Amino acid sequence: MGHLDPTTITFIIYIVMMLSIGILAFFYTNNISDYILGGRSLGSFVTALSAGASDMSGWLLMGLPGAIYLSGLVDAWIAIGLVVGSYLNWLLISGRLRGFTEVFGNSLTLPEFFQYRFSSRFNVLKIISALIILVFFTVYCSSGMVAGARLFQNVFGLEYHTSLWIAALATISYTFIGGFLAVSWSDTIQGSMMFFALILVPVMAIIELGGWGRTQEIIYSAGIERGIDYTSLFGDHSWVTILSLLAWGLGYFGQPHILARFMAAKSVGSLKNARRIGIIWMATCLAGSVFIGYIGIGYFYHFPELAGVVQQDAEQVFIELSRKLFNPWVAGFLLSAILAAIMSTLSCQLLICSSAIAEDFYKGYVRKDAAELELVWVGRVMVIVVAVVAIFIAQKPNSGVLDLVSYAWAGFGSAFGPLIIFSLYWKKTNSFGALAGIVVGAMTVIIWKNYLDSNIYEIIPGFIFSSIAIVIVSLATKRFLHSSDQENFERAVTLFRQQSSKN
């Protein structure tokens, strides 16, 4: 890095652009609602790309292509499960959640929504929800830190820990300054960058190898030599493994950083267009990600002299293809798309964590009469605190991006997913059932992941046991169900239907 090469210049331009968005958003952030949800002002396009970009972190451009590169198309079941899960989340959850959070206390965070939805006289439900967000998001944030560090390490030849701090500071800065609006506006740009990068790289790789037919021949030859059927969707995976890969789709119902986008939409009606845009964007990006890993098998088999880096770390396949196929200026743009994927998700996760502390802890228990601007600054300080903890977790250079993401994804999907569904569709759910569902879901994931040697992805038992706990405990304690909860439930459903019919 003795001189500014084209890739470095491109990165600098991108980071300056993101910081500029943060500064601009700063002047539109006047209260805690603006900082946490952007004043519920997002239109369809921004909602769609922001939800997608905040979902698709560094694992889209590093973790998933790396998994496909090692195993072939059999790991594409992850992508299939995610597309189905995301579509159902948009269809069944987005509109209702937007309407329900407005009726139930104009809630700004998930813990706050749960508190109002179930009229909990005690704050246990809110506290437990906020704690789960802090625990699993800190792990999730660390995956973004690892991906960012690997990117800077590869591109600039920096030492891992130096790269870790640079990647973290780039994201912390604009999240700290601009809050939700900065994150959402930048997500729109970042989502567009990811979209074009994921189309361009596999197309150019296919051309370089002599067309689709020739690419398939090369991949088939690589598979014969290595004893792996890269072209099969089933391979040697058992039905349990395939079911576990598909089960990633269950996670969508409980991801706070994605659900926050639904809550921030301008109206229920705007979510219909957002759903169409979001699913097209997502399906295209996931297909591109799968093809990058798949075509990377053929490319680096055909050019073994270029395969040194990916043989050491398969998650570098997108980075290496970008550097080998394009001139430094275009490669700089493509590699900035990885940074965009990392920053978009990491910034949103940091914001959700900071809002959980500012809105759910600080305002709830430290200073109930705290001024709006004070809460905003508490949120900003918490962005830094959470980021530092995530950096500490990410200290190990050999941390797997996809492994970290899968754990946090399962944690949220199991703790919050079933409860979100029941809270929007079953009016007999009460605060005791809600608390049981959250605790059982989270604990199942932690125990299953750390203490049981199982091939079943922990989100499956977590989701099932959480759902059972909600139903059994709610029915066992039905005498404690508040009539006001049922009345507000009906009012929220009516509001949702009215807003849906208007659009």
pLDDT tens, residue by residue, 157-204: 888 888 888 878 877 776 666 566 666 666 677 778 878 888 999 999
In angstroms, the CA 421 to CA 257 distance is 16
Q: By percentage, how much of the chain surpasses pLDDT 90?
A: 32
Q: Residue 354: which of 377, 383, 376, 390 has the closest Cα? A: 383
pLDDT (0 to 100) of residue 1: 44
Q: Which residues sit opposite 42 in a β-bridge?
A: 265
Mean pLDDT, rounded, of the chain? 83
Say which DSSP state 6 is in: H
Mean pLDDT of 488-500: 84
pLDDT in tens, 48-82: 766 666 666 667 888 889 999 999 999 999 999 99
User: Distances in Å between the alpha carbon of 165 and those of 136, 153, 160, 185, 288?
Assistant: 21, 11, 9, 24, 29
Give the residue among 302, 277, 283, 115 at the shortest CA–CA distance from 205.
Answer: 302
Task: Report the CATH fold assignment for 13-400.
Answer: Sodium/glucose cotransporter (1.20.1730)
pLDDT at position 216 over 70: yes
CA distances from 144 to 390, 430, 460, 495 (A): 9, 36, 24, 38
Predicted TM-score of the model (pTM)? 0.82
Which amino acid, residue 267? S
Confidence label for 476 from pLDDT (cuts 50, 70 and 90) = very high
Q: Token digits for 173?
A: 């800065």
Give the highest mean pLDDT range of 36-40, 89-93, 477-481.
Answer: 89-93
Residues near 400 by beta carbon (within 8 Å), at least 6 away in sequence: 63, 315
Q: Choose between 357 and 497: higher pLDDT.
A: 497
pLDDT value at 442 more than 90:
yes
Question: What residues does each domain of the chain span?
Answer: 13-400
DSSP state of 51: H
